Amino acid sequence: MKVLLVGSGGREHALAWALAKSPLLTRLYCAPGNAGIAQQAECVAIPATDFDGLVRFAVETGIDFAVIAADPQLVGGLWDRFEAAGIRASGPSQAAAVLEGSKGFVKDLCAEAGIPTAAYRRFTAPDPAKAYADSLGHPVVIKADGLAAGKGVIIAGNKTEADKAIDFMFEGGFGESGHAIVVEEFMEGEEASFFALSDGTNVVPLAGAQDHKRVGDGDTGPNTGGMGAYSPAPVLPPALEQVAMEQFIKPTVAAMAARGMPYMGILYLGLMITRSGPKLVEYNCRFGDPECQVLMPRLKSDLLAALRAARDGKLAPLEWHDDVALTVVMASQGYPGSYAKGHVITGLDEAAAMPGITIFHAGTERRGGDILAVGGRVLDVTATGRDVAQAQARAYAAVARIHWKGAFCRSDIGWRALARQDG
Ligand code: AMP
């Protein structure tokens, strides 16, 4: 199979790495890719936003299967564009990507299907939203309904903050995505992610993972795309994974099929493990980044065969390694704010040769013989090990070999898992 992967980050590198191992693969292309992905794929300079260009390339090159890694493409309808041109692709369709594209839709689906989640109401005007927020007490959570590049959620600590957040959204602070909002109850607990793969009717579990959203050690500082992750997540033992499948994933896939918009592809379940059990925080219609970077090293089965089976309605259970995988994101000073670009990275080959290490590139570019740091998140230094402690020690030993001007990372990736194990 000739495969086209769409995207350019660390998640896409992990997918390219896993796809490249498939015996079904004859040739792998990635648009636009990065310097790391170029080790596994032929990178083609088409931006992931250029749907016309991607479809044209796929048709002209005779692509057999397209893998779409990110939500803006899926919610924007790239799956539908490929399929209309006769190119099979990993979903979901634009209609089914509503699970990520509209928070209000998901909350209504939860209410109908009896899926545990925070109390909520949807609003299209500020005054009733403020009154409902008051009635919930504080903190209270205010969410823009649509996609807002991961920024559409404000946790308001008091009435002033809640009113301000509601006004901000209705005044277009998050663009169109804030013209409808969800106000919901604050859930207290530990967050974890669980991933499943669906063919529209059948669904198989993938694995659980936990990421680290804040930029600083001890979960301090501003939110980021994610500074590290590990899988499996001890907070989601097998019994809870089963709950995730039976009480969340399966009823959701069934409800989507019943609505005539079958959900095909990766389903990312964001959970809050509260005192009264797991509750849904959100759905995403793709792998997490950096969670994908710890799922792929644990996947024993053929990723390409699995994604293709999900597209063709022939899904079968997948096999996993028992090893733990842990990834440390190395970023450029200033991230998640502005950061310098273009510094030369050293030590990559030496680090990659260490036991259990795979390095996924997130924001890199090749210039001559050099690899340059060109993103906020630059590298995902990923290790496997028999437990979190070993994977963590291996990852940080590799991180210590890698340098560029202004490089930084969190030094405590895995702390929740280790605390749970120790205590
Ligand atoms: P979302 O985009 O819905 O995933 O929200 C982003 C982040 O906001 C989540 O990962 C949570 O950390 C937090 N969050 C969202 N909803 C709630 C809630 N109801 N209670 C507590 N935290 C929440």
Which residue's CA is minimally distant from atom 7 of ligand 1? Answer: 153
Ligand 1 within 6 A of CB of 282: yes
Q: 255-291 burial by CB neighbour count: b if 16+ within 10 A, else e? A: bbeeeebbbbbbbbbbbbbeeeebbbbbbbbbbbbbb
Distance CA 224, CA 332 (A): 12
Distance CA 122, CA 132 (A): 10
Count of CB atoms situated within 10 Å of the CB of 84: 10
Which residue's CA is minimally distant from atom 6 of ligand 1? Answer: 153
Residue 154's contacts (CB-CB under 8 Å, 6 or more residues apart) are 141, 142, 143, 161, 165, 168, 169
Ligand 1 within 6 A of CB of 211: no
**Closest atom of ligand 1 relative to the 184 alpha carbon:** 19
Amino acid making up residue 74: L
Question: Does the N-terminal peptide bond of residue 251 adopt cis geometry, omega within 30 degrees of 0?
Answer: no
Q: What is the pLDDT of residue 8?
A: 97
Using a 10 angstrom Cβ sphere, with 0-12 exposed, 13-18 middle and 19 or more buried, the burial of residue 300 is: exposed
**How far, in Å, are 155, 215, 345 from residue 209 at the CA level?**
23, 18, 28
Which residue's CA is minimally distant from atom 9 of ligand 1? Answer: 281
Residue 8's contacts (CB-CB under 8 Å, 6 or more residues apart) are 30, 32, 33, 34, 37, 48
Distance CA 86, CA 376 (A): 36
**Closest atom of ligand 1 relative to the 188 alpha carbon:** 21
Distance 358 CA to ligand 1 centre (A): 31
Q: What is the pLDDT of residue 248?
A: 98
* Candidate from 102, 282, 285 with most ligand 1 atoms within 8 A of CB, to mutate: 282
Give me the tens of pLDDT residue by residue for the chain, a chain 423 residues long. 999 999 999 999 999 999 999 999 999 999 999 999 999 999 999 999 999 999 999 999 999 999 999 999 999 999 999 999 999 999 999 999 999 988 889 999 999 999 999 999 999 999 999 999 999 999 999 998 877 666 788 999 999 999 999 999 999 888 776 678 999 999 999 999 999 999 999 999 999 999 999 999 999 999 999 999 999 999 999 999 999 999 999 999 999 999 999 999 999 999 999 999 999 999 999 999 999 999 999 999 999 999 999 999 999 999 999 999 999 999 999 999 999 999 999 999 999 999 999 999 999 999 999 999 999 999 999 999 999 999 999 999 999 999 999 999 999 999 999 998 775
* Candidate from 281, 285, 291, 416 with most ligand 1 atoms within 8 A of CB, to mutate: 281
HSE, side-chain direction, 13 A CA sphere, residue 414: 28
Distance 52 CA to ligand 1 centre (A): 34
Which residue's CA is minimally distant from atom 16 of ligand 1? Answer: 281
Distance CA 363, CA 223 (A): 18
Distance CA 222, CA 335 (A): 9
**Closest atom of ligand 1 relative to the 185 alpha carbon:** 19
Report strand pairing: 88-89 vs 153-156: unpaired
Distance 100 CA to ligand 1 centre (A): 13
Q: What is the pLDDT of residue 200?
A: 97
* Candidate from 117, 141, 184, 280 with most ligand 1 atoms within 8 A of CB, to mutate: 141
* Candidate from 155, 273, 275 with most ligand 1 atoms within 8 A of CB, to mutate: 155
Ligand 1 within 6 A of CB of 118: yes
Distance 48 CA to ligand 1 centre (A): 27
Distance 353 CA to ligand 1 centre (A): 38
**Closest atom of ligand 1 relative to the 270 alpha carbon:** 4
Contact criterion met (CB below 8 Å) for 61 and 279:
no
Ligand 1 within 6 A of CB of 184: yes
List, in sequence order, every residue forming a beta bridge with 199; answer none if it has no partner.
Answer: 264
**How far, in Å, are 133, 276, 354 from residue 161 at the CA level?**
11, 27, 48
Q: What is the pLDDT of residue 148?
A: 65
Which residue's CA is minimally distant from atom 5 of ligand 1? Answer: 153
Contact criterion met (CB below 8 Å) for 318 and 368:
no
Would you state the structure tokens that stand for residue 230, as one six-digit string? 């590990």
Report strand pairing: 27-32 vs 42-43: parallel
Ligand 1 within 6 A of CB of 153: yes
Distance 62 CA to ligand 1 centre (A): 41
Q: Identify the H or E element spanning 247.
A: none
Ligand 1 within 6 A of CB of 270: yes
